[in-house]
Structure 1
Amino acid sequence: MIHAIPPSNLGFAGGNNFGIELARELNAARVLICNPDVIVGPDTLSGLLREMDSRSLDLISPYMREVDRDNYPVDFMWPGWDFWLGRGVLDISLASRIRRYLPTFYGACFVIRVDLLDDIGGLCEDFFLYAEELDFCRRIDDSGGRWSVSKEYGVFHARGSSISPTGGPRKSLTSLHHSSRSAVIVGRKYWPLAALWWTVVRFGWAVKFLLKGNHLGFRAVILGVLSGWRAPLTAGSAKATRSSITTALRQLFRR
């Protein structure tokens, strides 16, 4: 086992890119990206690799098993991005059907072929936390790659515990800040008009925090939004931000 620790906190994308480069040096054919709050069963990884090969996939993620408030297990299999609110959802089959969703995979755990990374590059470091998988889906699709979520192999996910101040599911200020920031950034890259709407949505959430007396939550959301608008985008993003107003409107209001 090799332990490689970057000199500073590079965020989800930067930290995993650090590990991916090490895997390249070791001539790895595939890389497993896995959050510290994910538990992988003994046969899960081998099963994912078999499914990946049998279906000719470039990327595969397992379905997610979590526990609800009553401590009962719940399986999530259809992740996506809520285009109306600008946020990820665990399972679009359980979400509101009146809104538009973009399918994604589970960024908490996935296996990817290194040759695909050679084609499209690593995770986008414009994002510190959240929305990386949505950006990745766009780039994989544009390259002609194939990705999917396994319905046969799953992992247990203690969602949010890796960044929660108590190790539990309660959202931290870091989570509020970066989820707001990343929503704006991914909108700027691909759907500029939607980014404006997602900003309005988050200002509404910030006001709710303020009315409840949660001044730190209010501040985290507002600063996250402002940081998202101020952040420079990496090379290649400028082309994406030229999406037409017509396309953005169609995506935003399509049902």
Structure 2
Amino acid sequence: MDKIAVVILNWNGAKLLEKFLPSVIQYSAEATIYVADNASTDNSIAFVREHFPTIKIIKNSGNHGFAKGYNEALKQVNAEIYALVNSDVEVTANWLQPIIATFDAEKQTSIIQPKILDFKNKEYFEYAGAAGGFIDKFGFPYCRGRIFDTLEKDNGQYDDYAEIFWASGACFFIRSEIYNELKGFDESFFAHQEEIDLCWRAINDGHRIKYNSQSVVYHVGGATLQQANPKKTYLNFRNSLLMLVKNLPKKGLFFIIFARMVLDGIAAVRFLTQGKFKHSAAVLHAHFSFYCVSLVYLRKRKDFQMKQYYSVRSIVFLYYIKNLTLFKEIFNINQNFKN
């Protein structure tokens, strides 16, 4: 068994692999590197074989998205630690050593995220994860360094080691034993928020999730589904509701789901006023899809759920009504999330 395997999920990303694989190879001497291909129709596989022959290739049978794509690929990876890395991520020197050291020293820590900065503007945190993620009472995700669309400049304010609620799927380290115990990502999510769901399930099982700023990567973001893509809107709204049904404590479950759906409705109206008609329709589509499968997801619930899973009651209220746009304005920067 390898100590650590870097697994890069790819779909029609030959250009991204050409740009970003060199940094992974240069700075990952400790790891076995895999490209897990989701049945690409471009020349991805041929390109990797020709230019990076030391990289192992896993061929999935179809475009299974992020969740099933990794679930299928990781069946063929034998390593203690999985490093799941997007194809649009540039890694840096010493990005693996601090992660491995943390796993070796802390047996209860099962998932770790590095510092994620914006490849296009390297002085700023990147949207998908920044310096570690949290959710509010209604399941809205936000990060240290990113509240909704507000990105913070990296001034060293998160050069720390902190306990977080969720780690970004853009660069996601997890013990293989725990990944398999939790049965990996929920494949019905396809893409978006499956990593939050997996982290929540891990915490419910007594595991801890950490952010380690000594490991730094740069993420392009939006390479699979652009931020303006209505399908991304659909998946985010639908998957968030499904995640809440699976993981919320029983007490208050239906009230929170109802309140969240009202807030989603307000978001749909806001899309309309902005002329984003396809995005408004995507929210409605997400709700109808949720209605169709909600009973199935109620059966996926476990007996134990965290009593307090959120760090603030409503990030929507704090951001849009109170105009608090920075993480440090929301709660003490040195305060770690407590179970």
Q: TM-score range by the shorter chain?
A: 0.7 to 0.9
Tell me whether 1:187 sits opposite 2:244 in the alignment: yes
Task: Report if the CA contact (8 A) 2:245-2:297 is conserved.
Answer: no
Partner SS, residue 231 of structure 1:
helix
8 Å contact from structure 2 (residues 122, 218) kept in 1: no
TM-fit CA distance, 1:77: 1.4
CA contact (8 A) 2:271 2:277 kept: yes
Q: Which residue of 2 aligns with 1:35?
A: 86
1:7 aligns to what?
Answer: 61
CA contact (8 A) 1:180 1:228 kept: no
Q: Which of residues 198, 201, 204 in structure 2 aligns to 1:139? A: 201
Question: Distance between the aligned counterparts of 1:158 and 1:67, measured in 2?
Answer: 5
Provide, for residues 121-157 of structure 1, a one-character-per-residue CA deviation record: whole Å limited to 9, x for no partner.
2112232222222222222123232321112112111
**1:108 is aligned to 2:158:** no
- Aligned counterpart for 2:292 among listed residues 215, 223, 230: 230
- Match for residue 60 of structure 1? 112
CA pair 236-60 structure 1, distance change in 2 beyond 3 A: farther
Task: String of CA shifts for 1:11-62, please: whole Å, max 9, x gaps.
Answer: 2211111111111xxx322211112222222431233222322333322111
TM, length-normalised to structure 1: 0.78
SS of the aligned residue for 1:123 comes to: coil
Gaps of 5+ in 2: 1-54, 149-163, 316-330, 332-339
| Counterpart-to-counterpart distance in 1, 2:228 and 2:314 | 29
Structure 1 unmatched ranges of 5 or more? 97-101, 165-169
Q: 2:141 aligns with which of 65, 88, 108?
A: 88
Between the aligned partners of 1:94 and 1:114, the Cα distance in structure 2 is 29
Per mean C-alpha deviation after superposition, the further-off stretch among 179-188 and 56-65 is 56-65
Equivalent pair of 1:194/1:252 in contact (CA under 8 Å): no
The 1-side partners of 2:91 and 2:80 are apart by: 20
Equivalent residue, structure 1, for 2:76: 22
2:278 & 2:165 partners in 1: Cα distance?
32
Task: Write out per-residue CA displacement over residues 60-80 of structure 1, whole angstroms, 9 at most, x where no aligned residue.
Answer: 111211268xx4612431311
Change in CA separation of 1:140 and 1:72 when aligned onto 2, cut-off 3 Å: closer
Alpha-carbon contact 2:136-2:314 (below 8 Å) kept:
no
Match of 1:178 among 222, 235, 246: 235
Aligned partners of 1:8, 1:143: CA distance in 2, in Å? 32
Using the TM superposition, give the Cα deviation of residue 179 of structure 1 relative to its aligned residue in structure 2, in angstroms.
Answer: 0.3
Relative to 1, partners in 2 of residues 1:38 and 1:204: Cα closer, same or farther, differing over 3 Å?
same
CA deviation map 1:154-173 (0-9, x unaligned)? 21112223311xxxxx4311
What is the distance in 1 between the residues matched to 2:273 and 2:57? Answer: 46
Question: Which structure has greater helix proportion?
Answer: 1
The residue matched to 1:110 in structure 2 has which SS? strand
The offset of 1:174, in angstroms, is 1.6
Q: Return structure 1 stretches of 4+ with deviation > 3 angstroms.
A: 93-96, 232-236, 251-255
Matching of residue 123 in structure 1 with residue 185 in structure 2: yes
Counterpart residue number, 1:99: none
Deviation string 1:101-132 (CA, Å, 9 cap, x unpaired) is x8222222112111112322211223222222
Counterparts of 2:91 and 2:224 in 1: how far apart (Å)? 16
Q: Which has the higher contact order (CA 8 A, sep 6+)?
A: 1
Aligned residues of 1:185 and 1:229 also touching (Cα < 8 A): no
Tell me, yes or no, if the aligned pair for 2:79 and 2:176 is still in contact at 8 Å.
yes
Alignment match, 1:167: none
What is the alpha-carbon distance in structure 2 between the residues aligned to residue 83 and residue 235 of structure 1? 19
Q: Which residue identity does 2:300 align to in structure 1?
A: S
Structure number with larger C-alpha Rg: 2
| Map of 1:74 onto structure 2 | 124
1:178 and 1:224 in contact (8 A); partners too: yes
RMSD of Structure 2 on Structure 1 (CA): 3.2
Distance 1:247 1:50 in 2: 30
SS in 1 for 2:56: coil
